[in-house]
């Protein structure tokens, strides 16, 4: 949109804002009391949003919520307050929570409606949207609004969509409008429409565009012509807070929602959002237990934090898109284990920053092969590689030097770990991987081998646009200070040296129905949450081998490997205490189990809960949705959803999953081993019951 177009939208928004009831604009009749002193007293600005403490999804673009967070950081900075996000499961709970004082601002795609303005105050408009009717892309019977007669359309309870639907009902009286069941939000409705469970639903342009970043199985039937505006919501007495928020919005509205933005560090500092272009893989960036992880992500997030910026991850479709997207202004930095190559160095649009992380590339083959004695052992072999990768350039040089090797180009969408998988299965002969990717793969599988080191030593670099010298200097200063320092080494060791900090311990024999010294705690809290104590004992063995001092690479601690943030979420200030750690872990498992609301077999519900405990609920949700698409049973774990967990390791499936890549073999193994051990514990307990009483040695 042109600057003139944005100005027109802005002026229209101001007109709409001025037309709202006077209480929203703060006229003479509005309450004079102001709650900003109380907000300051608490030291934090509480932001109400839907979803949960876990991520809404794998970020693949800068979303309206990301822009909001950048603006909210500006507001909090001006007030010298901390930002705290308060999550509610249902949209309809946001306004009651605001009025009850649970939060100070609603920032959640909140449309401006006159009846709402009687209850809450709005800031000035931020974003324009249109409501839309969507259906499955496979639905050939409905293609336009004239096809809607006599059909049923669903909407999320408590949303303003009903206003658009009431207007539609007047135009098409035969259309049936139904409220979705309790707990079904708009995004879930869209999935149900895509799968054909409902024929039609209503969303808005923000929801539709977000859904279509990872799914291509819905289509828009009708876009309502009425333009609507979203804003933040506040209590009527938040006059001073609203004025400060309005000033921040006015100053930054010109950049809000723009997919392409350039400018150097000063422009980035103004909008408070750092856009990081990277890849969704085990080294760069992935989601584990609802938490963003990855070597490159942690470095980039710390860099953003030092500058007071909010990091936003953007994952282009292919490796080959990273640098073009940067040059086009779709991101600010490429942080994706990129190395310098002759081709990249000739690109006039980019600059390489201070190097870090020494790497040596490896020839990868199957475990049955003997290591190469020299590069000549590559003669006559086929090496599968992405054509735009640095590996390709390395191998091309060897070919030019006379080495008789065939290079096999593969899809640019394939990650290196997936090419390795195809080598292991015999689909490709050989490939090349950097030493860190190979090390991670060799830790989780025993069918591949390092055959030879190839090419010169190289180092990773972040990449910025040539026109961003201030940003480049900030990155250079960061790595000059941090490379091989305490922070860098901690992150490096977490992913590449000690990815599984786990001490093995021999299990106390179960033939006495005494599993560990912690049995009293396990029994106490298992009974409270209605789960068998031997299952929890099996899970604790899986997590920590009953070693309370274990600390995982993700920062989880103790017997049940509970992260401190999760402990706080469960109501525990210190999960280092053994009893609290066990209590928090069992309570968290119980919560994961209760997220499965369908009436399904208890054993399957337990499997889903364990898999969620290990990998995060989002990945389990993705696997269940994938099971539906593949005509498997989404309510059964074994041979159904577990198969789909494994498929989420493959980029062709991960790119269409809401939460992206998942190392699915880990939760599959986790569930199987816990249940097998649980079965053995139960058998031992049953055998003991059948023995004479004097033989039993109960705790």
* ∠ Cα 484 488 489 (to 5°): 70
CA 660 to chain centroid: 7
β-pairing verdict for 350-352 and 448-465? antiparallel
Lowest mean pLDDT among 354-363, 514-523, 630-639: 514-523
Confidence band of 148 (pLDDT split at 50, 70, 90): very high
Is 260 exposed, middle or buried (CB count within 10 Å of its CB: 0-12, 13-18, 19+)? exposed
Query: 337, 434 in Cβ contact below 8 A?
Result: yes
543 is catalytic: yes
Lowest mean pLDDT among 8-12, 64-68, 182-186, 338-342: 8-12
How much is the mean pLDDT over the chain?
A: 86
Lowest mean pLDDT among 9-23, 64-78, 542-556, 643-657: 9-23
User: 48 by DSSP, 3-state: which?
Assistant: strand
Domains of the chain: 3-127+230-257 (3.40.190.10), 131-226 (3.40.190.10), 362-464 (3.40.190.10), 510-688 (1.10.530.10)
User: 154 by DSSP, 3-state: which?
Assistant: strand
pLDDT of residue 292: 81
Confidence band of 382 (pLDDT split at 50, 70, 90): very high
Confidence band of 58 (pLDDT split at 50, 70, 90): low
pLDDT of residue 414: 86
pLDDT of residue 57: 64
- Give, in order, the Cα–Cα distances in Å from 314 to each of 282, 339, 420: 16, 19, 25
Residues 434, 412: Cα–Cα separation, whole Å:
17
Going by C-beta distance under 8 Å and a sequence separation of 6 or more, which residues neighbour residue 275? 62, 261, 312, 314, 330, 331, 332, 333
pLDDT at 258 over 90: no
pLDDT of residue 657: 92
Query: 107, 68 in Cβ contact below 8 A?
Result: yes
Confidence band of 257 (pLDDT split at 50, 70, 90): confident
pLDDT of residue 94: 95
Residue 41, token pair as written in the block: 């007293």
Is 329 exposed, middle or buried (CB count within 10 Å of its CB: 0-12, 13-18, 19+)? middle
pLDDT at 211 over 90: no
Residue located via tokens 């101001």:
14
Query: 436, 417 in Cβ contact below 8 A?
Result: no
Confidence band of 449 (pLDDT split at 50, 70, 90): very high
Comparing 504 with 638, which gets the higher pLDDT? 638
pLDDT at 122 over 70: yes
Confidence band of 4 (pLDDT split at 50, 70, 90): very low
Q: Which of 643, 653, 649, 652 is nearest to 663 (CA)?
A: 649
pLDDT of residue 640: 94
Confidence band of 223 (pLDDT split at 50, 70, 90): very high
Mean pLDDT, rounded, for 130-153: 94
CA atoms within 13 A on the CB side of 23: 15
Per residue, the 3-state secondary structure of 515-578, as one string, reads CCCCHHHHHHHHHHCCCCHHHHHHHHHHHHCCCCCCECCCCCECCCCECHHHHHHCCCCCCCCH
Element (H, E) at 170: helix 161-171
- Quick: pLDDT tens for 167-178: 999 999 999 999
Going by C-beta distance under 8 Å and a sequence separation of 6 or more, which residues neighbour residue 611? 619, 620, 623, 637, 641, 642, 645, 667, 668, 670, 671
Torsion from C-alpha of 138, 651, 489, 476, nearest 10 degrees? -70
Question: 10 Å Cβ neighbour count for 540?
Answer: 27
CA 495 to chain centroid: 18
Percent of the chain at pLDDT > 90 equals 60
pLDDT of residue 691: 56
pLDDT of residue 498: 59
Residues 395, 409: Cα–Cα separation, whole Å:
12
β-pairing verdict for 291-293 and 44-50? unpaired
Lowest mean pLDDT among 29-33, 232-236, 251-255: 29-33
pLDDT of residue 697: 37
- Given 354, 418, 543, 628, which residue is catalytic? 543
Query: 202, 131 in Cβ contact below 8 A?
Result: yes
Mean pLDDT, rounded, for 330-348: 93
pLDDT at 416 over 70: yes
Torsion from C-alpha of 584, 586, 587, 592, nearest 10 degrees? 120
């Amino acid at each position: 949109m042109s600057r003139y177009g944005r100005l027109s939208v802005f002026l229209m928004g101001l007109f709409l804002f001025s037309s709202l009831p006077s209480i929203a604009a703060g006229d003479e009749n509005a309450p004079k009391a102001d709650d900003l002193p109380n907000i300051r007293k608490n030291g934090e600005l509480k932001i109400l949003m839907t979803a949960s403490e876990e991520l809404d999804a794998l970020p693949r673009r800068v979303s309206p919520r990301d822009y909001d967070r950048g603006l909210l950081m500006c507001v909090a900075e001006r007030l010298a307050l901390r930002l705290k996000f308060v999550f509610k499961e249902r949209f309809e709970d946001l306004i009651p929570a605001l009025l009850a004082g649970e939060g100070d601002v609603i920032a959640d795609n909140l449309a401006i409606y006159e009846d709402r303005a009687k209850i809450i105050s709005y800031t000035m408009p931020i974003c324009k949207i249109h409501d839309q009717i969507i259906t499955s892309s496979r639905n050939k019977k409905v293609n336009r609004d004239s096809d809607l007669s006599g059909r049923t359309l669903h909407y999320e309870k408590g949303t303003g969509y009903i206003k658009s639907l009431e207007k539609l009902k007047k135009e098409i009286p035969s259309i049936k409008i139904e409220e979705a069941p309790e707990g079904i939000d708009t995004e879930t409705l869209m999935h149900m429409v895509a799968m054909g469970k409902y024929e039609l639903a209503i969303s808005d342009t923000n929801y539709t565009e977000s859904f279509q970043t990872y799914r291509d199985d819905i289509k828009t039937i009708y876009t309502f012509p009425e333009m609507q505006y979203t804003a933040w919501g506040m209590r009527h007495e938040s006059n001073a807070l609203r004025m400060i928020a309005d000033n921040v919005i006015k100053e930054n509205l010109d950049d809000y929602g723009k997919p392409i933005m350039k400018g150097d560090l000063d422009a980035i500092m103004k909008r408070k959002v750092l856009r990081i272009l990277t890849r969704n893989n085990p080294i760069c960036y992935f989601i584990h237990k609802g938490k963003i992880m990855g070597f490159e992500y942690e470095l980039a997030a710390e860099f953003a934090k030092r500058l007071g910026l909010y990091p936003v991850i953007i994952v282009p479709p292919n490796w080959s898109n990273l640098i073009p997207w940067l040059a086009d202004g779709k991101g600010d930095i490429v942080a994706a284990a990129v190395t310098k190559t002759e081709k990249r160095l000739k690109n006039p649009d980019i600059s390489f920053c201070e190097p870090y992380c020494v790497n040596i590339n490896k020839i990868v083959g199957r475990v049955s092969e003997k290591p190469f004695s020299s590069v000549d052992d590559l003669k006559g072999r086929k090496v599968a590689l992405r054509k735009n990768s640095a590996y390709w350039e390395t191998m091309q040089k060897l070919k030019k030097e006379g080495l008789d090797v065939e290079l096999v180009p593969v899809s640019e969408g394939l990650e290196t770990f997936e090419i390795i998988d195809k080598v292991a299965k015999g689909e490709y002969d050989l490939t090349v991987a950097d030493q860190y990717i190979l090390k991670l793969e060799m830790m989780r599988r025993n069918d591949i081998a390092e055959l030879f080191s190839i090419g010169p030593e190289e180092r990773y670099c972040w990449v910025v646009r040539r026109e961003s010298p201030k940003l480049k200097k900030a990155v250079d200063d960061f790595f000059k200070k941090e490379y091989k320092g305490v922070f860098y080494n901690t992150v490096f060791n977490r992913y590449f040296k000690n990815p599984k900090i786990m001490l093995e311990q021999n299990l106390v024999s179960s033939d006495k129905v005494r599993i560990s010294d912690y049995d009293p705690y396990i029994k106490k809290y298992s009974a409270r949450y209605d789960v068998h104590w031997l299952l929890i004992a099996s899970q604790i063995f899986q997590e920590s081998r009953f070693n309370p001092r274990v600390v995982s690479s993700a920062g989880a601690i103790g017997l049940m490997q509970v992260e401190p943030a999760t402990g706080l979420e469960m109501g525990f200030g210190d999960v280092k205490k053994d009893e609290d750690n066990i209590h928090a872990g069992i309570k968290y498992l119980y919560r994961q189990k209760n997220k499965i609301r369908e009436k399904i077999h208890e054993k399957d519900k337990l499997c889903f809960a364990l898999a969620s405990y290990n990998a995060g609920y989002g990945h389990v949700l993705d696997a269940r949705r994938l099971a539906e698409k593949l005509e498997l049973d989404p309510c059964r774990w074994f041979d159904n959803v577990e198969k789909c967990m494994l498929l989420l390791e493959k980029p062709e499936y991960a790119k269409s999953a809401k939460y992206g890549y998942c190392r699915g073999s880990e939760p599959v193994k986790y569930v199987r081993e816990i249940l097998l051990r649980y079965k053995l514990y139960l058998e031992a307990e049953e055998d003991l019951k059948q023995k004479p009483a004097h033989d039993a040695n109960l705790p």
